[in-house]
Structure 1
Amino acid sequence: MKLKFKSIVFCLSIIGFSTSNAQINLGEKALGALQSGVASFTFSNEDAAKLSKEAVRKMDSTNVVAGAKDGYTLRLNRIFGKHASENGLALNYKVYLTKDINAFATADGSVRVYSGLMDIMDDNQLLAVIGHEIGHVANEDTKDGMKAALRKDALIGAVSSQSDKVAKLTDSQLGQLGSAMIDSKHSRKQETEADTFSYNFMKKHGYDVNAVESAFALLASQSGGTSADFLTQMMSSHPDPKDRAENAKKRAVKDGLYKPYVQKIINNKAVTKAPVKKKVVKKKK
């Protein structure tokens, strides 16, 4: 099965910009800023968090979100709920119900995991992927990604040059920004640092660090060993996914923690849903 990513796939359909576009009425001042590259545009962590929160709200409204009692939600609560304040961050998390294989985190601390990813990974592998995404938030890569998304999708003028504060985008612009934001690529250095964050996250909390190598190797094998689809962002277009898996292995060997990882599978599928309790029917005496 080849990975199919909606929010981490990077075959972007760049939305064209024109002054006649009714959805993005920037005005002459903003248009001038856009055409000049907005060299003076300042963008703080607070700005990134504010826009990310609104964009994620829009994405939540257009995706099927698992309910509080859904098995996927119960599983994510069980394995990740205790890390909602990881590294001093205020993280919120939800599951999108779709077969797509995906996970992402944004500048405001929103973590979204697709059920398709949960279907192919066990708990430790899933934590390794989420740890990687949190690393991008902790390292402020998501702020850079947001700024790049604004620039790429012709929205930077909409939030700049209007006043000293970042302007509020329209609902349609937020939807556009959400897709562009998650589609933004990270640099080789950022990806490497996020890999290290993931490994350290696993080690710090006493999880099996070998799941980091295993998760990367699994994603690489699912996509045929290429950097297409999910790997284009999660694994970036420059570092080879197999090399990244090998680097994780080397860290484990150096720490004296390496051992071949065995994925926990039930019925040819990684554990996905919480066990359903059977009703006990009492026999009448």
Structure 2
Amino acid sequence: MPNTFPTFTAAGLAAVRAGADRPLLLTNATVHTLDPLIGTMPGADVLIGGALIVGVGPGIVTAAEDDGAVVIDATGTTVLPACLDATVTLGTAARGTGSGTLAPGADAGVIVVPDEHAPDLATALHTAFTQPELLLAVLQQGRPVHWAGRLLTGAATAPLQPDRLAVDPGRVGVWIDTDDFLHQDLTADGRYDETRGGRPHAFTGRYWIDGERIDYLDDLGFWAFGRFSHDGTDDALHHAGYTMHRKDAR
């Protein structure tokens, strides 16, 4: 039998990183593949090669040493796809391709949840997608991005929160579309005020800027978004089919 690292420890993470060019095997977990043919398997293994799921099911660990796999003991855990895709269940997407299942051939996006927070599939999904602090591991393209409660890669800043101001001072001002129909005033206190076709205060609400993305929460309760780009002369804001430029940059 191969050397097996304890469940999602620092030593296990070091082994996964050191063996980045080797297969990765999660062994002895409850695996919800979300694949309509395979279903759920207790005491199963998930073999990852590169960015794909290579195999799933009991007994794969017996070949792990032959294949030079890094083996992580996943006893007491539940493994799920990191993405959901109902089109697989509906039959409108090819099995074992893309994301949404743990069928062999699918993208190696994986979430690992402690069994005590995943007694059944519904609870496991709820935990996985609403309680990130409980996750033991998240793999994207077969590589760990979250391990033992710690985010390993990604945001250099804290995630956006509804009560957290996220304003880019360089983008505060009035943005006007190319037909002079839509005027969108982004204020320094994180509010926006839209004039449409000369109708003032047509939509008002809050906004958050994260890099090139802007999220809107209208006072009516709906969410929308836009993206900033640079067109060679100045910034442009693309939102709901409109292209806007800031008034003082026109």
TM-score by structure 2 length?
A: 0.25
Structure with greater strand percent: 2
Structure with greater helix percent: 1
